[in-house]
Structure 1
């Protein structure tokens, strides 16, 4: 496998903050991995994600995208190579579902026929019947359906890297599990690189081929779910695992 993303001694500090959001972070992500990024609010996980698509630039260090230093890229052009999904979805309310999914293909001047075929393909992929949903508007969809459309839009131009920032955080438990399963199917079919931010340890361990655990801008452990569960690197990681086990006690009883 080739290296998709590499952080080299990257730091980011926001004005007025007591500590760095990302503190001298180095890591390598192989192309085709599904990386989940786990940590509590303010640990730096979203900052890390936003630096990959240049919403933030680091003060120190460098980030390479398939061996190219991203600071040498045009940010707008660069972002079109990356799929980006957020919790709030961010669909355009005045556009139909088809129009939302077609946003970047239209910018790239795809033909109408190619766009229509891709919209139908993606709606089917995320479990929404094209004939039923392509001409609806976001306000006519449930939260879970809107999240599926957001995922379809991010996949529109078949990006090599997908960034997902707590995309299921506002979804109810039943639909959240369904969306996790759909996402795994899509990932397994594509074998692209996925980075998925969450504060839910069960979600992180279910989805990730490797899990990146962060606290105070630093990596606490970066390994497979099985290895982390078997050998927590420190007390912080152990406390996360213990909290997940504690939540299961009721059901065992």
Structure 2
């Protein structure tokens, strides 16, 4: 039996002046080593769900457990240092080199200089960047795709069991995005970590996720494999998503 990595138990979050909860009584379980994508339109609650895992937002109701530990009982800063977090706009420190960016948390945890240097080189190689070429560069000297790879390396620095990725490829061009999707699948397959990846792109969600959470207005509409969702949409909203994706496919077929 696989270990449970993340468990949401009747989790809710409501922001002031909102007409409906950002997350509404969500209960689901994610196993260790899964690649879970969270799909939904803007305002569906997908990013809020993600941010509650590392306590950037605290639950208004319910409980979240990571490996059977209630995150409300853990210091928020200490919790975040155990979780990798990658966002769309990367957030690299512009005054730091690539190596210094990746080393941020290891330095806070008082790793030795030798261990940090070795880890930086290892991670740059993992994300497909030559350490000798890139570790002394600054973020402004990198392309968007290269910056996103460095952001991923930084999130992996302390070997977290859980990675949270919030639309990390949303601002990239189509070719770079496709290449990074393929790279991320290889990285996940090699590391066997638990990935929770937010996207509004159905093709990206179904390509990357071994299971997909589909959200709408704070609710989980369906949580299943891409194949089961395509063959058995749980409600009208999910069916509309599937029909829209198939409509895009037919568009290319008509013009071939």
Establish whether TM, by shorter chain, passes 0.5. Answer: yes
State the partner residue of 2:40.
39
State the partner residue of 1:232.
233
Task: Measure, in 2, the Cα distance between the counterparts of 1:190 and 1:134.
Answer: 22
Task: Measure, in 2, the Cα distance between the counterparts of 1:164 and 1:221.
Answer: 20
- Compute the displacement of 1:250 (Å): 2.3
Task: Measure, in 1, the Cα distance between the counterparts of 2:37 and 2:251.
Answer: 26
Secondary structure at the counterpart of residue 252 of structure 2: helix
- Compute the displacement of 1:248 (Å): 1.1
- Compute the displacement of 1:27 (Å): 0.5
Secondary structure at the counterpart of residue 237 of structure 2: helix
Output one character per residue of 1:178-223: Cα deviation in whole Å (capped at 9) or x when no partner.
0000000000001110000000000000000100000000010000
Q: Does 1:20 align with 2:36?
A: no
Secondary structure at the counterpart of residue 63 of structure 1: strand
State the partner residue of 1:126.
127
Alignment: residue pair count? 253
- Compute the displacement of 1:81 (Å): 0.6
Tell me which stretches of 4 or more aligned residues in structure 1 moved more than 2 Å.
none
How big is the alpha-carbon RMSD for the aligned residues of Structure 1 and Structure 2? 0.5
Q: Counterparts of 1:97-112 in structure 2 under 5 Å? A: 97-112=98-113
Task: Measure, in 2, the Cα distance between the counterparts of 1:203 and 1:8.
Answer: 27
- Compute the displacement of 1:160 (Å): 0.1
TM-score by length of 1: 0.99
Secondary structure at the counterpart of residue 123 of structure 1: helix
State the partner residue of 2:246.
245
Secondary structure at the counterpart of residue 9 of structure 2: strand
State the partner residue of 2:181.
180
Task: Measure, in 2, the Cα distance between the counterparts of 1:78 and 1:128.
Answer: 29
Moved more, 223-232 or 242-251: 242-251
Secondary structure at the counterpart of residue 85 of structure 2: strand
Secondary structure at the counterpart of residue 242 of structure 1: helix
TM-score by length of 2: 0.98
Output one character per residue of 1:8-51: Cα deviation in whole Å (capped at 9) or x when no partner.
11110001111100001100011111000000000000000000
- Compute the displacement of 1:252 (Å): 1.2
Q: Does 1:211 align with 2:212?
A: yes
Secondary structure at the counterpart of residue 147 of structure 2: helix
